[in-house]
A = this chain, B = another copy of it.
Amino acid sequence: MDFNFSPEEQAFREEIRGFLDANLPDPVPDEDPAFLQAWNRKLREKRWVGFSWPREWGGGGGDLIRQFILKEEMSARRAPALGLDFMGLTWVGPAVIKHGTKEQKAEHLEAILDGRSHWCTGYSEPDVGSDLASLQCRAVRDGDEYVIHGQKIWTTSAHFASHIFLLVRTDPTVSKYKGITCLLVPMSTPGITVTPIENLSGKASFNQVFFDGARTPVANRLGAEGEGWKVVMGALANERSGISESTEMQQHLDDIRALAKRAVRNGRPALQDDRVRRRLSEMEIRVEAMRLTGLRHLTDQINGKPSGSETAINKLQRGILEFEMSELSLELLGSEALHQGEIQHDALGWHGTVIGGGSPNIQRNIIAERILGLPKD
C-alpha cells in the first residue's frame, strides 16, 4: 500500500497543471463549439485524447496511473471532457483496436480522436430490459451485405450520431449468447429511422432506432459472426473503472457546498444548521469512499485482476449520492424549488443517470447472487 506517486508521475501532474494554467480560460466556455474543437486539437497535440490507446493508432500509449492523474487534474479544473466523441472513445475505439480489421482501424480511430465521428451504441430493445442477451434485432446475410430488421431503444444520442455500434442476432438457432454479432453502421444508411424519446425534462437524450431492411457491407462487421457477445463484454469492462464517477460526484459536492454557503433557511444561514452540515459531511464520506474504492479497483486493473461485480459498489453509492444531493439542493432552494432552473433540472435528471447504469435493485441482485452466493430468485 503506497499512495505516493513517483517523481515521474508527479512531474506529469505538474505538466498537466501547467498546460491548464496556460490554456484553459476561466470561466470555461464549455457550451461554445468552436472552443471545444480548438481545445480538442490542443489535447490531441499532447496525445491526451485516447490517452491509453496505442500510439500507433494516434493514442497516448499512457498507463493507467497517468490516465488517472490526467482525469483527476482535468476534472479538478472542470476542463471539458477528454475528447468529443464520448462513446467512440470509451466503447467503440477500444473494441475496434482489439477486434477491428486494418481498414476499420484506419476508418474509425482517428475520426474518434479528432471528434469527427459521433458514435451511439445499439444494445437495449423493448421488452428485453435487463436481459440484454435476449436481443431480437435480426441481421440476415445477403451476399456481401447484412440486411437488418428490428428495433433498438434507449439509444443515447442517436438523434445526432454519425455511427451506431450495433448488436444484432445473426443466428436464432444457437444459444442466445452465440447468435449475436457486432456491426459498425453509419447512421446515414437508408432504412434507419430515429425517433427521439423525450425525457421528463422535456429533452430528447435517448431514442428509438428502427431498422427496416437497412443494408450494411459485411466489411462493417466487428469480429467474427456470432462473436458479438464477447466483443461487447470486453467493451463493458472498459467502461467500469469507477474513477470518473467519483470525480463527477466530487464536482456535484463542490456545487452543493457552494449552494449551501449562500443559502438561508428560515432566516438563518444554512451552514449554521446542524443537519445541513452533517448531510454535507455524509456526502463527503461517500464521495471519498468512492474515490478510494476506485483506486483499489485501479490497482486491481494494473495488477491484471480487473474487477468484475465489484464496480456495483460505486454504482450503488452513486445512486444514494445523486438522490441525497438532489434532495438537499432542492431543500436549500426553499420556495425557489417551485421554479425551473439549472439546479431544479439537475435534481430531476439524476433518475436517468441512475437507471442508465442498471437499476439499483439489479445491482443488488448481482451482488447478492454472484458475490454473497445467495440463491437466485
A276 (CB) vs chain B CBs: closest residue: B274
Say if the beta carbon of A273 comes within 8 Å of chain B.
yes
**Residue interface bits A258-281, CB-to-B below 8 A is 1, else 0:** 000000000000000111001000
Q: Give every chain B residue within 8 A of A275 (Cβ-Cβ).
A: 274-275, 278
Secondary structure type dominating chain A contacts: helix
**Residue interface bits A201-234, CB-to-B below 8 A is 1, else 0:** 0000000000000000000000000000000000
How many Å from the CB of A338 to the closest CB on chain B?
23
Considering only CB atoms and an 8 Å cut-off, how many residues of chain A contact the other chain?
A: 4
Q: Give every chain B residue within 8 A of A278 (Cβ-Cβ).
A: 275
How many Å from the CB of A327 to the closest CB on chain B?
15
Q: Give every chain B residue within 8 A of A273 (Cβ-Cβ).
A: 274
Whole-angstrom CA separation of A278 from B273 in the bound complex? 11
Q: Give every chain B residue within 8 A of A274 (Cβ-Cβ).
A: 273-275
A268 (CB) vs chain B CBs: closest residue: B274
How many Å from the CB of A137 to the closest CB on chain B?
30
How many Å from the CB of A283 to the closest CB on chain B?
16
Tell me the A358-372 residues at the B interface (CB within 8 Å). Answer: none
Whole-angstrom CA separation of A275 from B272 in the bound complex? 12
A265 (CB) vs chain B CBs: closest residue: B274
How many Å from the CB of A101 to the closest CB on chain B?
50
Whole-angstrom CA separation of A278 from B265 in the bound complex? 15
A273 (CB) vs chain B CBs: closest residue: B274
Whole-angstrom CA separation of A274 from B278 in the bound complex? 11
Whole-angstrom CA separation of A375 from B254 in the bound complex? 44
A274 (CB) vs chain B CBs: closest residue: B274
How many Å from the CB of A158 to the closest CB on chain B?
35
Whole-angstrom CA separation of A31 from B274 in the bound complex? 41
A377 (CB) vs chain B CBs: closest residue: B377
Whole-angstrom CA separation of A273 from B273 in the bound complex? 9
Whole-angstrom CA separation of A273 from B272 in the bound complex? 11
Whole-angstrom CA separation of A275 from B281 in the bound complex? 14
Whole-angstrom CA separation of A180 from B274 in the bound complex? 58
Tell me the A244-300 residues at the B interface (CB within 8 Å). Answer: 273-275, 278
How many Å from the CB of A343 to the closest CB on chain B?
23
Whole-angstrom CA separation of A273 from B274 in the bound complex? 7
Whole-angstrom CA separation of A160 from B201 in the bound complex? 65
Whole-angstrom CA separation of A376 from B273 in the bound complex? 45
Tell me the A77-133 residues at the B interface (CB within 8 Å). Answer: none
**Residue interface bits A140-155, CB-to-B below 8 A is 1, else 0:** 0000000000000000
Tell me the A288-335 residues at the B interface (CB within 8 Å). Answer: none
How many Å from the CB of A276 to the closest CB on chain B?
8
How many Å from the CB of A25 to the closest CB on chain B?
41
How many Å from the CB of A164 to the closest CB on chain B?
38
Whole-angstrom CA separation of A170 from B310 in the bound complex? 54
* CB pairs A–B below 8 angstroms (5 shown): A273-B274, A274-B274, A274-B275, A275-B275, A275-B278
